[in-house]
Chain A
Amino acid sequence: MIIADNLCKQFERTVLSEEKKGFGKKGKQNGKKETFYAVDHISFRVKQGEILGILGPNGAGKTTLLRMLGSLMEPTEGSVSIESKDGNIIRDPVELKKSIGYLSGNTKLYHRMSTREMLYMLAEIYGIEKSEAEKRMEEISKVLDMESFFDNRIEKLSTGQTQRASIARCLIHDPDIYIFDEPTLGLDILSADAIVSFMKSQKERGKTVLYSTHYLEEAQFLCDRILMIYQGKIVKEGSPKEIMDACGADNLRDAFHYVMEEVEKA
């Protein structure tokens, strides 16, 4: 189980204001720094075997939230912890990362390596024994149907093959929690379906999946629970059915529009 406790992340941004100097004269540009919360005191828990979807418009704070959950970013306040199967609470970022498989559009692969070389390197970093690593790589290449390009340099692979190599990267240490940031963005139907079925299969294996997406139909069909966030805050939480019922909508897309309109009005 992954626990987000009162998480928030503060950033600084420069707001430019133009100082008018009268007709025909060039205005002076003044930069003023201000702080804002990209993630504003968010708490939740995701159970084992659960798929949690994080929805929200661009700039809502989805990526920042997932980066904090994946220990890529340090929260300004609050904490992330994992409760392992034996009940231990893990808080150390390095230890947390050992239990997490993180995939986003920004986690590219090492182009000058082959998938096999990359997985070897990762196994070494995760502290997996060589024989065990070889066994897992064999399995992964079979499950993801990667045998034909397993030894090709990643820069030579097609988009779909690269995506499968990316999934392989998350699988090598067999983590308990998967964090996927818009994993199907920009993929063709086949590649996107492969990812969706991968998430489903992991859920069946009792793994926890957190993922953000803009594809609401996909989320409606896949997620056990949804968090809708806006300006860093949770504005709606529940199962897809609960949210649709609460909003009086037939599908998650309409429910999403309804929630966002309500929030903007408020």
Chain B
Amino acid sequence: MNIKRMGALFKREIRDIFRDKKTMIMMVLLPLVLYPLLIVGVALLSTAIIQSQEEKTYTVAFEDCADLEAEISEILSKEQEEIGYSMEVVSKMSCKEALEAEEIDAYVSMDQKEITINYLSAKERSVTASGALDEALDIYKASLTKQQIEAAGLDVDEILNPVKIADKDMSTAEESIGSVIGMMMPFFIITMILLGAIYPAIDVTAGEKERGTLETLLTLPVTNFEMIMSKFLAVSCIACVSAILNVISMGAAMAFLVTSSLASAADMNISFDFAVFLPGILFTILVMMVFALFVTAVCMCTCVFAKNFKDANNYATPVMFVFMFAAYAPMLPDVELTVQTAAIPVVNVALLVAGLFEFNYNYALFGVVLASNIAYSLLAIMVLGRIYNSESVLFSEGFSSVKLFDKRSEMKEKQMPGIGDCVLLMCVVLLLMLYGGTYTQLKLGFGGVAVQQAIILICPLVYAWYMKADAKKLFSVKVPKIKGILGGICFAFAGFLLALVVGALLTPVFPQSAESLKAMDEMIKEQPAWALILVMALMPAIGEEFLFRGFLMGTLRGKCKPWVAIIVTTLIFAAYHMSVLKMFTISIIGLGFTVAAYMTGSIFVSMLMHFINNGVSVLISLYPEQVGKMFPILMAESLGAVEMLVTALLGVILAIVGWLLVKGKKKTV
């Protein structure tokens, strides 16, 4: 890598981006103008509207209730300050007609002891007038009650307030305001960073192709790595500047809002210290800068496939949609930053920033968020490097890697999805699981797990149907040979045993939360055996296999080397289980599934393996005592060295036998 050459390219990219008006508007003008307009402007506007409403005089009338009219008129004029509006009482022949003609804003009618406020909910003035009347009538009702209690010779206060209830907010003003800011801020900042990064990303990728300067760049004595890094660094810088400007601009707008509301509530004597937010703001800037790298890499990976600006905009739209959807996480109840959510891109950053403003400083989780963002950025840069090495992408007119964007009528029959389709599908499934799945599980409990599994099954099937994919080929729908089935069974047990050993080795390092295990146990205990087998073993065996060994592996099979397809499928399958410990054990089990499905070319083999694996786990949880008697090793709290060695050896032997059985014919679909 030649730093000087890279520097020259970097300078050119930066100069080019800065000379592009669109980018400058998105990066500088929007954050600097939008927040003040949006936050301060709206606040000032609503204050002005309320003030003008207060200054207006509202006209009301009373229908056939002269006594009440006299009482209420008196209250309206005497208690104007408490009611907040200036009210004028007029007489009308037909109050109903007058209201409909908007000559009056509301009227009161009385039928025996029932008083009705008549108003027009579609008219702002009428709603305000009815509110004022309501308040006046409340005062009237309270005075009547008081009179009647006094007439009965009782103590008014004792009757009306037998006990006194008071609430006291123990949160400081900073905490209350911080929680509101934390809820809103991540969404705005993530969206703005995305807007800040997406235009330069389009400009340096698809824009360069459209302007025809990409080939010029390729004539220069620079390596692909230097070229990518200079582009990546230039866009990252812009995204970082955008991040900082956004945080500062939003912070300033929020500070203005807080200061002005504190000034208006000066009599309440609330003390507020802006300095307490300083660590949060600084951390937010740091996190957002790292996040900007990730956003840049993702945007560039997406836009490099496009042939021009317009195309790139189309590609970027779903990315923006996914990011904004994920940035919404802090606004959802019960979604918090945990070890699991800290690994989910975008969601982790949104939750972290929300937490910072609520003064939750969990440094271990900060570390996970930062590390995962750096890891995702590196991964995305590697992908970008591969794409930039691909002559078909650089010299072609661009191609749609996401088939979903093509018109369905123009789609080729029996086509195969691209890597872009896989990424999109995985993102959609992940988000559906995170939002829809969590919601249904909270609402339906065990039924929610079934819904989750249904989501996993339906998504790849619908996607494949929509893009007119060759379902048989994509999902490896092929009747397996007996040898393949036997090999699969060997792999399933090998995976189970090896995962047992790895699990035993790693549990002390990554302990599973007792709470989540207990919750799972309780959920399982309440269910009949058939339901458990159906939801925990059969449904995942079908749904997850269709998604991972079907759609994902089927796509990768034709696009990359066998080992890459197998490893990527296995790792994504493991990562989807969202647990650090499971990442290792499921990788082992999943590797068996993937290899068997790949080698036999039949998804039914991996479905059977998946069913066996999950089925055994369900049986263990259903009949722990019986299983404990038959296979004490499965129920042991911890494994001894000899036990581990024997189990591992057995696992390896089974894996070798399985491999020999499935590898028979190397023919792949």
Contact = CB atoms under 8 A, between A and B. Distances in A.
Q: Do A and B come from one complex?
A: yes
Interface string B8-23: 1101100110011000
B415 interface: yes
A73 B395 contact: yes
A108 B213 contact: yes
A150 interface: no
A98 to B, nearest CB: 5
B contacts with A: majority SS:
helix
Interface stretch (B173-181, B217-225, B417-425): B217-225
Contacts of A104: 215
A107 B216 contact: yes
A171 to B, nearest CB: 13
B4 A28 contact: no
A169 B221 contact: no
Contacts of A111: 211
A72 interface: yes
Interface residues of B, number: 29
A107 B215 contact: yes
B215 A125 contact: no
A93 B219 CA distance: 10
Contacts of B4: 124, 127
Interface string A84-109: 00000000001101101010101111
A72 B9 CA distance: 17
B16 A94 contact: no
Nearest to A64: B395
A46 B219 CA distance: 20
A176 to B, nearest CB: 14
A44 B418 CA distance: 39
A219 to B, nearest CB: 23
A108 B211 CA distance: 7
B219 A112 contact: no
Interface string B195-235: 00000000000000001110110111111000000000000
Contacts of A124: 4-5, 7-8
Nearest to B411: A29
Contacts of A95: 221
A102 B211 CA distance: 17
B370 to A, nearest CB: 34
B414 to A, nearest CB: 7
A94 B219 CA distance: 9
A112 B215 CA distance: 17
Given A111-B211, A125-B8, A72 B218 contact: yes
Contacts of B220: 97, 122, 125-126
A169 B216 contact: yes
Interface residues of A, number: 34
Contacts of A107: 212-213, 215-216, 219
A106 B212 contact: yes
A108 B12 contact: no
Contacts of A169: 216
A94 B223 contact: yes
Contacts of A67: 395
A30 interface: yes
Contacts, number: 77
B414 A121 contact: no
B412 interface: yes
B415 A112 contact: no
A70 interface: yes
Contact of B412 (A29, A74, A121): A29
A124 B20 CA distance: 23
Contacts of B391: 73-74
A36 interface: no
A72 B219 contact: yes
A110 B213 contact: yes
B138 interface: no
Nearest to B221: A97
A10 B89 CA distance: 91
A112 B221 contact: no
Contact of B15 (A72, A113, A126): A113
Given A29-B413, A125-B5, A127-B4, A110 B218 contact: no
A97 B219 contact: yes
Contacts of B215: 72, 104, 106-108
Contacts of A125: 5, 8-9, 220-222
A31 B416 CA distance: 11
Residue of A108, A109, A117 with most chain B CB atoms under a 10 A cut-off: A108
B8 A109 contact: no
Given A28-B413, A31-B412, A124-B4, A100 B9 contact: no
A72 B213 CA distance: 13
A122 B220 CA distance: 8
Interface string A8-47: 0000100010000000000011110000000000000000
B528 to A, nearest CB: 47
A109 B12 contact: no
A110 B219 contact: no
Given A31-B414, A113-B16, A169-B216, 14 more contacts: A28-B413, A94-B223, A102-B219, A104-B215, A108-B215, A108-B216, A109-B213, A109-B216, A110-B211, A111-B211, A113-B12, A121-B12, A125-B5, A127-B5
Interface of A: 12, 16, 28-31, 67, 70, 72-74, 94-95, 97-98, 100, 102, 104, 106-113, 117, 121-122, 124-127, 169
16 contacts: A16-B412, A29-B412, A30-B413, A31-B415, A73-B391, A97-B219, A97-B220, A100-B219, A110-B16, A110-B216, A112-B20, A113-B12, A125-B5, A125-B8, A125-B9, A125-B220
Question: What 3 pairs across the A-B complex have the smallest Cβ distances?
Answer: A108-B212, A124-B8, A97-B221
